[in-house]
Structure 1
Amino acid sequence: MRLNPPVNKLRSAHLGPVLALLVAPLALGCVSEVGHEDEGALDEPVGEAQAAVGWWSYGWGCSGSCELNLGSDTDRTCFLSGVWGKLGASSQASVRVTRSGGQWTLYVDSASGQNLGANAVCVNTVENRTGQYTWTWGPGDGLPTSMGFGTSSRRCFLTQVTSNGAFKYNNWITDYARVLKDVSGEWFLEGASTTGVDTPVTATVKAICVDVPQNYGAWQWIAGNNHRIDPLANDSIGGVVCGMTGLGGPFTSNSWTDGVWLEYNSTTLDWEQHTVNNKTAWSQCVR
């Protein structure tokens, strides 16, 4: 569901098989990121990774700058699960999930009044949670960022995508960012961006890792000139949640329904990936 700006989507809170719907309050205003995390450093371990995670989902967007509080950082870890609208503008645009002052916040900063929004999910574990790792593309940049090895339960997800002329071209193979684990077990944050009419093209992408014990599958879906909806993991047993591990392609449409996002279908109990108009996204489901 998409609404005209500012966008306020329903949030779902899942604790095992229980479902509750919450309406997020309207939150508008200037956005500034206060405070910084240690780059890639481990948090002090709190609690344990659980066999079935509780989760919350959110959606927020606007034509300008806006923010949405996602709750305390002491009992949950939050990351992106979708981006829609004009991220690939000629000037800077950004969606980001950050920690500051003991809280998680979803920030949206659109370019020149364009429509931009994002989805986020939070899981109720902080076991071996890392700080945010950063990959940048621009003059002298672009090499993959190592995120280390971690435990066998480590899962990593995107938390921020900032574009200044990136994510504008139809070939997602040369305009993307993602996290991946190589055959040795080392995690990396990497990508590429196409230099075109806007030079220099720059991009900043961040990711976070946290221990969640069960892997319920990973996918990459690619759309042509269409809106495709593809199933991910089924949540009939409860506690399954999916997040975004990568995205690519042209985010150039000033539309709330043009992008990539993950949604929970309460009728089929499936997580689904929506992929629109020559874009791609990588997703990971856990429990």
Structure 2
Amino acid sequence: MSTHHFARKLFLAAPLSLFAVGCGGDPMMDQSLANETAPAEAVTETAAPADASLAASEQGVALGGTYWWGTAANGLTSTSIGTSTNRTCFLTGVQGNLKGTSWAGVGVFDYAGNWMIFVNQSNGKALSSGVQCINTATNRTPEVSWYDGQAAKLLGAVTSARRCFLTQVEAAGGYTANSDYARVWNDGYNWYLGGNLGAAGGARAVCVDVASDQGGWLWIAGNPGSFTHNLAYDPGGVACMLSGIGGNFSTSNYTDGVSIDYNSGTRYWEMTVSNSKRGWGNCVK
């Protein structure tokens, strides 16, 4: 484990719901970035905004930190991003190269009472993970893992408040085809984690109670191409996380993938997808 700098900024959010699919490639990112990047390592944290009191007044979910971790170093690199007491963390970004000679993975896990953001790989390529934490652990379920070839895994029964999101993705040949994906969903009765991968890989997920669903989206990028589209509008109290990812994650590039971020200039949560990737995002309040 190594220690890295933290850079604080502002954030928070509220309502809007929609379901949308975006195809094609609005060239929102510099295509020269498709070249291999130099090894780098960083972790950044984004905290609650100056107008966090607005979120409290609207009784929205309280954000518990937004993080990014990227490295080209081989092996498991991780760092603590704070307590898991009354706080739950989910995946918001997967970018770079999951293709290697053995298992690779990104995400967050609970260890000894703290959330750890991590990157694990063996190919020396750029790989990064984005994580969003929210300040609740109400009825949090145990983490469930699903791997290619298995039946969809049960996460828990549908309730009025249960929301489920990804915590990790893992690959040993999977996530290298446009058709590869893993996601969480519910059928009105139960929440599930599953998908379809052409080779070894999988994902992990956790559920927690959050009062209000603010909408779900699926965005798909053309190949080549990248674009950014809005998710939920956020005057305060909204959080958006990944409920699924798919596509070919085989480029050594910290911006080639799927990510959910907050745009303080527009007060919208946004999803960016690139080069055949797809992302499922859901927002809660």
The one-character-per-residue Cα deviations of 1:162-185 (angstroms, maximum 9, x if unpaired) are 100000012x3xx10000000x32
Gaps of 5+ in 2: 1-28
Gaps of 5+ in 1: 20-49, 195-200
**Alpha carbons of structure 1 residues 280 and 187: separation in structure 2 relative to 1, 3 Å:** same
TM-score by length of 2: 0.80
Larger RCO: 1 or 2 (CA < 8 Å, sep 6+): 2
TM-score by length of 1: 0.80
Counterparts of 1:32-47 in structure 2, within 5 Å, are none
1:8 aligns with 2:13: no
Distance 1:5 1:124 in 2: 33
1:13 Cα deviation from its structure 2 partner: 1.3
- Paired residue type of 1:159: T
1:193 aligns with 2:205: no
Counterparts of 1:89-238 in structure 2, within 5 Å, are 89-137=100-148, 141-170=149-178, 172=179, 175-182=180-187, 184-194=188-198, 201-224=199-222, 225-236=224-235, 238=236
1:273 aligns with 2:252: no
Aligned to 1:44: none
- Paired residue type of 1:13: A
The one-character-per-residue Cα deviations of 1:43-97 (angstroms, maximum 9, x if unpaired) are xxxxxxx931111110001012321211101121001001000013343211131
Aligned to 2:68: 59
Query: Does structure 2 conserve the Cα–Cα contact (< 8 Å) formed by 1:16 and 1:53?
Result: no
Aligned to 2:6: none
Distance 1:53 1:166 in 2: 34
The one-character-per-residue Cα deviations of 1:10-49 (angstroms, maximum 9, x if unpaired) are 3211279339xxxxxxxxxxxxxxxxxxxxxxxxxxxxxx
Distance 2:157 2:266 in 1: 36
Query: Does structure 2 conserve the Cα–Cα contact (< 8 Å) formed by 1:51 and 1:214?
Result: no
Distance 1:8 1:258 in 2: 17
Aligned to 1:46: none
Distance 2:218 2:263 in 1: 19
Query: Does structure 1 conserve the Cα–Cα contact (< 8 Å) formed by 2:106 and 2:119?
Result: yes
Q: Percent identity?
A: 38
1:124 Cα deviation from its structure 2 partner: 0.2
The one-character-per-residue Cα deviations of 1:125-145 (angstroms, maximum 9, x if unpaired) are 1110011011111xxx32111
Distance 2:281 2:92 in 1: 8
**Alpha carbons of structure 1 residues 15 and 131: separation in structure 2 relative to 1, 3 Å:** farther
Aligned length: 243
1:202 Cα deviation from its structure 2 partner: 1.1
Distance 2:155 2:51 in 1: 33
**Alpha carbons of structure 1 residues 18 and 4: separation in structure 2 relative to 1, 3 Å:** farther
Distance 1:269 1:97 in 2: 26
Q: Which shows bigger deviation, 246-255 or 90-99?
A: 90-99
